[in-house]
A and B are shown apart, each in its own frame.
Chain A
Amino acid sequence: MDTVPLWTLNKGQRAAIRGFSDVLPDSYRQRLTEMGFHGGEIVTCLLRPAFGAPRVYRVSNTVYSLDEDVAANVMMQPLEAGA
C-alpha cells in the first residue's frame, strides 16, 4: 500500500510508521525514534490547528507536536477506521 507523509493525516486518523524520508537529517531520525516513532508504531493525529501551526500526534501514551519540516518526512501507512 502507498505511504503518505505524517503531515497529511486528518484529525483522528491513525496510521502506522513505515519509515523516514531520506531528506530528514539523521539526528532528527534518531530523536524521533528515541521518542517512540518506531517502524510499525501506530500514530494518531489529534489536532490540526489552522494557519500551518505544528500538528499534534499521539504515539503510545505520549503526545508530541511536530511542525511540517519534520512531519512531512515521516512516512505512514494509513489504517482503516476501527483497525
Chain B
Amino acid sequence: MNRRVMLVGSPNCGKTLLFNRLTGLKQKVANFPGITIELAHGPMPAIPGVTLTDYPGSYSLRALSADETVAVEQFHAGLDSPDVSHVVCVIDVTRMEKSLYLTLQVIRHARRKGKHVIVVANMMDVLDAHNVELDLEGLAGELDAEMIPLSARTGQGMADLLACLREDPPRQPPEPAPEIEINPDLLIQQQAHRLAGKYGPRGDMLVRSQNRMDAFFLHSWFGGLAFFAIMYLLFQSIFTGAAPIMDVVEGGLGTVAGWLVPLIGPGLVADFTSDAIFSGVGAFLVFVPQIFMLTLIVGLLEDSGYMARAALICHRPLRFFGLTGKSFIPMLSGVACAIPGVYAARAIDSPRRRRLTYMAIPLMPCSARLPVYALLIAAFIPQTTAMAGLVGMQGLAMFALYFFGLLAGLVVAGIASRRDAKSDSDVPFILEMPAYRMPALMPLIQKSAHRCMHFITKAGGVILSVTVVVWILGYFPNGGADLGSSWLAGIGRVIEPVFAPMGLDWRYGVAILTSFLAREVFVGTLGTIFGIEFAEQNMVPLVERIHASGMELASGFALLVFFSVALMCVSTMVILARESGSWKLPAKMFAVYGVAGYVGAIIVYQGISFLSA
C-alpha cells in the first residue's frame, strides 16, 4: 500500500536539503529562511511506495499571514489523511530555541491524530566541527519521541532515518485532547524555552566565526563596498567567466553546420537547416553559458548565507522606495528569472510591500534579457579593458544595464508607493541571520545545468516554433532569393512605421514583435532573418550580420532601453496574475511598461542622433 511521510520544520533548518537527499529531487535550497513556499512531493527511491511531502518552514503552527494560514491548514489536512504513516520534524541542533516550539506543537497535534513522529536532529556536522556534544538522548526522552542525529549536508545518519521510515508503524489510537486546556501555547513555549536551555549548545562558540564575518560584511563602510564589489563581480563574470564556454558552443555549432549542410546538398532542406536551425536556434544557444554562470554565482551567494546580509544592507535604501530588505532576495532571484522571484516575494509579510515588489521584479534584468543584452553589447561596445585588464568595457556595460533595471524597478515601486501612501509601520523587519557556510559546488553546478536545460527546453520550443514560421514567411514565395520581396517583408513593412522612430527597419520590427512571446525569441528571429538574407555566408556570427545590416549605435541603445523596460513574458504575467489574485496588476504592468519602454527608446534614439549630428 502506498503511504506518505510529512516533513516539517522551522525555516532554514535544512529540511529541503534532507528532502532532496531522500527523494533525489532538486527542490530549490538556499541558506536563508523562507525558501520553501509551497508543498513539494517526491517518491523516495530507497523505500518504494513511500512519498515524501516537504512543508514550508514555520516557527509555529499559529499562522500570522495568509500564506502561513494556508501552510498550517495543509499541515492539519495532512495529519487527517489516513495514508500518512510518519511525521518527520527537523530541528536545527545548533539553534534549538527556534526549533523546539514548533516541534512540541507538531508532536502534540500528531499524537492526537495517532501519527508516529520522528525528530531529526539536523546539522550534527556543525556540532562535530566545533567538538560540541549534546545530550540528545535526554532531549528525546523529554520529548518522548524517537530522535535521529543527522547531517543532511554530509549524509551522516541517513541510513538510520531510512531504517525508521521503512517500518510502517501500526496506527496508534489518537491521544484524546484534555477537556480543559488553559493557554496550551504558552505552556509549550515555556517548555521549549526550558528544553533549549537544558539541552541546547552553550556559549557563543557556534556563532563566534559568524560574528567575525558579520563585523566585516555588515560594517558601515566595508560592508557597503563589499556589497558593490560582489554585485559588480557577479555581472562582470557573466562575460569573462562564460566567454570560453561560449566560444566552444559557437565553434561547435559552426563545425557541425559546416559538416552537415553540404552533406544535405543544395535545396530547401539545406536552406532551412542553415537559416532556421543553425542561424536561428543556434544564435540563442550561444548565450546559454552566460545563463549558467549567472545561476551559479547567484547560487553561491544564496548558499553561503550572504543573501540575508545583503537584505539587511539594502533594507534602509529599499524602504525609501516603499520596499523592504526582504524585497532584495526576490529581486535578485528575478535577475535569474522573474518567476522564482515572484514566488520568493511570498516571504514578505506586508501585502502592500509584496505588491510593490511584484511591480519591481519584472524590471530586473532576467536571464531572458541576457541574450538580447549580450548581442547588442557585443555589437556596439568594444572588447577593450582598463585598469590592467580588471575592468572590461563589455562587462561594465552589462553592469550598467543591470543597474538600470534595478533603478527602474525601484523608481516604479517608489512612485506606486507614494501614490498609495499609507503608514510605513506595516514593515517591521525581523530576519534570521543564517550561519555562513562554504557552498557545496557540485550541487550548485548541477542546479545551474538543470536551470539551463529547463531554459533551453522551455524557451527552445517557442524559439523553434517562431523560427520555423519566420523562416517560412521569409523564404517564400521566391525560395530565399530576395528577403525584401518575401511575405515576411510584406508584413514587416506594415509595422515598420511603429519602429521607425527608433531608427529600426522592418527586420528588427518583426524580431521585436515575435519577442512579445518571450524576449529571447528576438535573437532567434533575427538570426533566421539574417540567415536567409546572407545565405551565401555560412554561420557568420550574428553580431557581424547586425553590423552589416547598417544598424546605428543610437538604435542599439534604443533597443536596450526598450528591452529593459517592456514586460514581454507571457509566463511571468500568468504567475503574477496567480500570485496577486487577479489579472489587473499584470495587465496594467504590461501596458505601462510597454508604453514607457517604447517612449524611452524613442527619446534615447532621437537624443543620441541629435547629439551626434
Contact = CB atoms under 8 A, between A and B. Distances in A.
A9 interface: no
Interface string A33-57: 1111010010000110111111010
B371 to A, nearest CB: 36
A52 B485 CA distance: 64
| Contact size range, B | 35 or more
Contact of A65 (B102, B312, B425): B312
Given A54-B429, A63-B433, A36 B219 contact: no
Nearest to B201: A61
Nearest to A38: B193
A27 B97 CA distance: 19
Given A35-B430, A61-B97, A70-B428, 11 more contacts: A31-B430, A38-B189, A54-B312, A56-B214, A61-B94, A61-B96, A61-B201, A61-B206, A63-B211, A69-B427, A70-B429
Interface string B54-73: 00000110101000000000
A44 to B, nearest CB: 8
B101 interface: yes
A60 interface: yes
Contacts of A27: 64
B218 interface: yes
Given A34-B60, A54-B312, A59 B97 contact: yes
B426 to A, nearest CB: 9
A70 B431 CA distance: 11
B432 A31 contact: no
B362 interface: no
B214 A28 contact: no
A50 to B, nearest CB: 4
Interface string A5-34: 000000000000000000000011011111
Contacts of A61: 94-97, 200-201, 204, 206-207
B304 to A, nearest CB: 15
B434 to A, nearest CB: 8
B268 interface: no
Contacts of A51: 220, 316
B218 A47 contact: yes
A7 to B, nearest CB: 12
Interface string B317-356: 0000000010000000000000000000000000000000
Contacts of A28: 428, 430
27 contacts: A28-B428, A30-B64, A34-B98, A34-B101, A34-B189, A35-B97, A35-B98, A38-B189, A38-B193, A41-B193, A49-B219, A49-B223, A52-B316, A53-B313, A56-B218, A61-B97, A61-B204, A61-B207, A62-B98, A62-B432, A65-B431, A66-B429, A67-B429, A69-B425, A69-B427, A69-B428, A69-B429
Contacts, number: 114
B505 to A, nearest CB: 49
Contacts of B101: 34
Contacts of B308: 65
Nearest to A57: B433
B210 interface: yes
Contacts of B432: 35, 62-64
A62 B211 CA distance: 11
Contacts of B62: 30, 34
Interface string B91-120: 000111110011000000000000000000
A63 to B, nearest CB: 4
B215 interface: yes
Question: Secondary structure at chain B's binding surface: helix, strand, loop or mixed?
Answer: helix
Contact of A36 (B94, B98, B221, B325): B98
Nearest to B11: A35
B443 to A, nearest CB: 25
B433 A56 contact: yes
Nearest to B316: A53
A34 B204 contact: no
B545 interface: no
Interface in B362-403: none
With a 10 A CB-CB cut-off, give which of A28, A60, A69 has the most chain B CB atoms. Answer: A60
Contacts of A31: 59, 64, 430
A37 B287 CA distance: 49
Contact of B220 (A38, A50, A67): A50
B207 A47 contact: no
A32 B325 CA distance: 18
B220 A49 contact: yes
B207 A58 contact: yes
Given A34-B60, A63-B432, A47 B215 contact: yes
Contacts of A70: 428-430
B526 interface: no
B431 A54 contact: yes
Contacts of B207: 58, 61, 63
A47 to B, nearest CB: 5
Nearest to B220: A50
B64 A33 contact: no
Nearest to B312: A65
